[in-house]
Amino acid sequence: MFHSFCMSEFEKTIWNFYLQKGIKNPAEISLYVFDDQANFEVIKRKGASYAVEIGDVYYIFLDSSIPLPNRREQLAHEIGHVLLHAGNQLWTSPLIKEKQEAQAKKFAHYALIPSWFLIEKLQDAPETIQGKAATLADFFCVSEPFVIERLFLLEKDISGGEIHARTY
């Protein structure tokens, strides 16, 4: 059980943004609140999800044929690109592209399942990883594999010093 923890700077930025928007629990997380930070429009259609910048507007093309939890994950990932990166990824080196993908993925995990909410929900979650994944996926409206990846990120953050946690 976690009694206290200290967020990474990356998460502090998301936390402060959510507080400014009045988001105080996971049910209130709407990714469209990030539109204030980067002017974007979401276009739902079948096909791969991606974002493009045309003029001063970003267009996020979101695959409408996949389940809602996966759409939320892809939308968060593309918003991560819009907020964190500049330029056209098609023209970047594979190494830079790989780094940008990792950053967008991390943004998606932290935006959809912030540590402060995750740690609170873990206290009531089942013991098994499968039980945790099912419970948390339902609660945060994401897929079970996404939750498992997020749990590994939390573990990495704690062991790597990103989050300073005490367990009792």
The residues pairing with 50 across neighbouring beta strands, listed in sequence order, are 61
pTM of the model: 0.86
Helix, strand, or coil (residue 167): strand
pLDDT at 20 over 50: yes
Q: How do the domains of the chain map onto residue ranges?
A: 8-161
Angle in degrees, CA 9, 12, 16, rounded to 5:
145
Residues 147/133, Cβ–Cβ less than 8 Å: yes
Residues 58/42, Cβ–Cβ less than 8 Å: no
pLDDT digits (tens, 9 = 90+) for 40-75: 899 999 999 999 888 888 999 999 999 999 999 999
List the single range of 1-10, 129-138, 150-159 with lowest mean pLDDT. Answer: 1-10
Position 150 confidence tier, pLDDT thresholds 50, 70, 90 = very high
The DSSP line for 30-88 is -GGGGGGTS-EEEEEESS--EEEEETTEEEEEEETTS-HHHHHHHHHHHHHHHHH--S-
Position 152 confidence tier, pLDDT thresholds 50, 70, 90 = very high
Please tell me the predicted confidence (pLDDT) of residue 93: 85
Please tell me the predicted confidence (pLDDT) of residue 162: 56
C-alpha dist (Å) from residue 146 to 116, 152, 161? 17, 10, 22
The residues pairing with 142 across neighbouring beta strands, listed in sequence order, are none
C-alpha dist (Å) from residue 152 to 14, 31, 112, 115? 19, 23, 15, 12
